[in-house]
């Protein structure tokens, strides 16, 4: 399986993917209501939303990695997360910081 990484995308594609949640916030906020509503709705989509999105994505990555034990025998022994899975999780985390 090949995951999309920053290096696989053009600068424009990366910006579009990274900024998509903010564009959704702006579109919904601009779709109706008073000017005060617009202001309140636009400010809602700030750092808290970015933090929640990052946490959601990292939680999904960890849950998938821990769904099955690696190198076990009939459910005995082994470990929860492989080195390859740790590498992918670290890459996902790093992508959020760039």
Query: pTM of the prediction?
Result: 0.54
For 40-97, write each residue's pLDDT tens digit.
887 776 766 778 888 989 999 999 998 888 887 777 788 889 999 999 999 999 988 8
Report the C-alpha gap between 40 and 72 in whole angstroms: 52
CA distances from 21 to 69, 75, 77, 78 (A): 34, 40, 41, 38
Instruction: Look at residues 24, 12, 16 and name the one whose alpha carbon lies nearest to residue 49.
Output: 24
Q: Residue 10: its pLDDT value, please?
A: 94
Q: What is the maximum span of the chain, computed from C-alpha positions, in angstroms?
A: 62
pLDDT over threshold 60, residue 39: yes
Torsion angles phi and psi, residue 66, rounded to 5 = -90, 5
């Amino acid at each position: 399986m090949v995951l999309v990484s920053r290096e696989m995308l053009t600068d424009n594609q990366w910006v579009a993917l990274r900024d998509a949640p903010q564009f959704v916030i702006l579109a919904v906020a601009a779709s109706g209501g008073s000017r005060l509503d617009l202001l309140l709705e636009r400010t809602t989509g700030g750092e808290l939303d970015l933090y929640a999105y990052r946490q959601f994505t990292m939680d999904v990555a960890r849950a998938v990695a821990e769904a099955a034990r690696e190198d076990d025998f009939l459910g005995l022994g082994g470990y929860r997360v492989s080195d390859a899975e740790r590498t992918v999780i670290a890459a996902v985390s790093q992508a959020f910081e760039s």
